[in-house]
Amino acid sequence: MNKTELTQLISKNFDYYQTGHVADYIPALAKVDPKQLGMAIYDLQENHLIEAGDANVRFAIESMSKVPVLLLAIKDNGIDHVFQKINTEPTGFAFNSIMNMEINHRKHPMNPFVNAGAIATTSLINGKNAAEKFDRILAFMKEICDDPAITLNEEIYQSESRTGDINRSLAYYMKGNQMIEGDVPAILDTYFKQCSVNVTAVGIAKLAAVLANKGIVPWNGQRIVSEKSATIVKSIMTIAGLYDESGEFSVHVGVPAKSGVGGGLLAAVPNRYGMGVFSPALDSFGNSAAGIQLLTDVIQELDADIFE
């Protein structure tokens, strides 16, 4: 695929933004212009990146941050320790639900991509305080996205913090049931910040390319995460990366992917492509409405469904 072909697919799918709505439950995200769509694709075989549309527009990473933070938690603690604390099962409940832990009487969250699991993952990041933990997360994001300009969006962070009471309830429930260790306000402060950094579709495509390339950075050949951790993260993306749309997406599109309510999509096609998409209007599942349509077309065009 070349830039012209990608541009054509962006034009074909642009109007799907009208079927969605920006995440207005977070006031700062409610201000984002929904009329945006961009994509970047890192081709591992050609070691080349193409981009089109709004691929360089900065937007809040939101739940896509769960991917690099999980990778960093594994680097800090090892695979066994992380997954003794957090399960790897899909859940039929909403991403911010407490029900799976209560009904199943589990002593750990169901997976790292529901909010409870993501908060537990953040609690495992090394650092003597919240500021040091976030600085390490930010530095890792800059490295794996090959984007030194990633910064905290202060307005979104404050908005996340003001509206984050459900996340607070999840964190205190886990603390009260000995599922997490550490100071809950500090853990939540780090979590709200990690969700509030500004990224681009280009940077997300590069992050996805590292996952697709078994943990090796394709633009310099250095290993940044272990092959095993890259494989595990892609597997969890396949079963739980798109909230309650994960199963349908796996059936009809067939690539490991992770979304965020800032309008981003991350897709890693093993050994072939890393993809980043941005369009802020969300469908009823909380995934980018135009982004899902565009990604579906691109995967079909590239014959990249991993299950075919």
Tens of pLDDT, residue by residue, the chain (308 residues) = 999 999 999 999 999 999 999 998 888 899 999 999 999 999 999 999 999 999 999 999 999 999 999 999 999 999 999 999 998 877 655 565 565 666 565 677 888 999 999 999 999 999 999 999 999 999 999 999 999 999 999 999 999 999 999 999 999 999 998 999 999 999 999 999 999 999 999 999 999 999 999 999 999 999 999 999 999 999 999 999 998 788 888 888 999 999 999 999 999 999 999 999 999 999 998 899 999 999 999 999 999 999 87
Q: What is the pLDDT of residue 96?
A: 59
Please indicate whether residue 66 is annotated as part of the active site: yes
* Catalytic entry in 197, 225, 253, 261: 261
Helix 154-162 to helix 184-194 angle (10° resolution) is 130
Active-site annotation holder among 17, 22, 57, 66: 66
The pair of three-digit structure tokens given for residue 2, joined into one six-digit string: 């070349």
Given the residues 63, 123, 246, 279, select the one marked as catalytic.
63
Query: 159, 191, 206, 298: which is the annotated catalytic residue?
Result: 191
> Among this protein's residues, is 123 annotated catalytic?
no
Active site residue 157: no
Nearest to 293 by CA among 74, 1, 9: 9
**pLDDT reported for residue 307:** 86
Beta-ladder partners of 48: 43
pTM, rounded to two decimals: 0.94
235 in catalytic set = no
Does the active-site annotation cover 85? no
Q: What is the pLDDT of residues 243-279, one digit of tens each?
A: 878 888 888 899 999 999 999 999 999 999 999 999 9
CA atoms within 13 A on the CB side of 192: 25
DSSP state of 165: H
Instruction: Write down the pLDDT at residue 101.
Output: 64
Phi, psi of 20 (to 5 degrees): -120, -175
pLDDT at 109: 81
Q: DSSP for 180-195?
A: --S-HHHHHHHHHHHT
Report the C-alpha gap between 23 and 44 in whole angstroms.
Answer: 33
Q: How remote is the C-alpha of 124 from its chain's centroid?
A: 18
